[in-house]
């Protein structure tokens, strides 16, 4: 039984390594192939997806107006959504989930034991990230040229996109913070890994 558990851990470690490599490769492709190309085609303007600090409704409307008059950046953005962004959110969410599984969240937090419901919520964070990233991409495909959304659609998506992107980054940042916390606690625990 113990051998099966070790085998499962090794399999999970292998899957995690593959997902980490894929995430890195996809991120490099997105940045080098699309973010940089968009910036060059748009005379230095950044695509909204690359704004880590998020964006507001007015930014969405301004980007839509800009892309309607500039087909080259619009084509680059669409190609990104229909290219690496079809896979990247799934791969990154899978990587975060596997890392959480390897670290086995548990212990206590602010003096309270981390119960099964809290552990389930922690494991749901990468899923939230993936859903929000895909929602942002789908909204972009519906909103930006060559799509021709109605005024009501523009109004709705311009209001929703800032919320979606905040939820995306919030779930990602909280997951990374929790991963760091559990990794440190595991390292410091008496049965945790030690440097050679």
Could you report the per-residue pLDDT of 70-105, keeping only the tens digit for each? 999 999 999 999 999 999 999 999 999 999 999 887
Does 120 fall in a domain? yes
Cβ atoms of residues 83 and 141 within 8 Å: no
CB atoms within 10 A of CB 73: 23
* Boundaries of domain holding 135: 2-188
Does 194 fall in a domain? no
Structural domain count, the chain: 1
Does 7 fall in a domain? yes
Does 36 fall in a domain? yes
Res. 188 pLDDT band, cuts 50 70 90: confident
pLDDT digits (tens, 9 = 90+) for 19-67: 999 999 999 999 999 999 999 999 999 999 988 888 999 999 999 999 9
Does 195 fall in a domain? no
Does 193 fall in a domain? no
Does 34 fall in a domain? yes
Does 129 fall in a domain? yes
Cβ atoms of residues 183 and 101 within 8 Å: no
pLDDT score recorded for residue 109: 65
Cβ atoms of residues 126 and 175 within 8 Å: yes
Reply yes or no on whether the pLDDT at 152 is more than 50: yes
């Amino acid at each position: 039984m113990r051998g099966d558990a070790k085998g499962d851990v090794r399999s999970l470690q292998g899957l995690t390594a593959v997902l980490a490599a894929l995430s890195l490769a996809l991120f490099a492709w997105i940045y080098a192939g699309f973010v940089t190309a968009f910036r060059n085609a748009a005379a230095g303007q950044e695509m909204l997806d690359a704004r880590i600090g998020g964006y507001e409704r007015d930014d969405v409307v301004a980007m839509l107006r800009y892309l309607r008059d500039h087909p080259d950046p619009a084509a680059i953005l669409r190609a990104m959504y229909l290219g690496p962004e079809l896979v990247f959110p799934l791969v990154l969410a899978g990587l975060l989930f596997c890392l959480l599984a390897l670290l086995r969240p548990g212990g206590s937090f602010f003096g309270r034991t981390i119960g099964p419901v809290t552990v389930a919520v922690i494991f749901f964070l990468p899923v939230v990230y993936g859903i929000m990233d895909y929602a942002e991409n789908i909204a972009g495909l519906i909103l930006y040229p060559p799509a021709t959304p109605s005024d009501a659609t523009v109004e709705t998506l311009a209001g929703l996109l800032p919320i979606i992107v905040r939820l995306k980054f919030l779930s990602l940042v909280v997951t990374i913070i929790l991963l760091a916390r559990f990794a440190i606690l595991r390292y410091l625990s008496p049965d945790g890994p030690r440097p050679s």
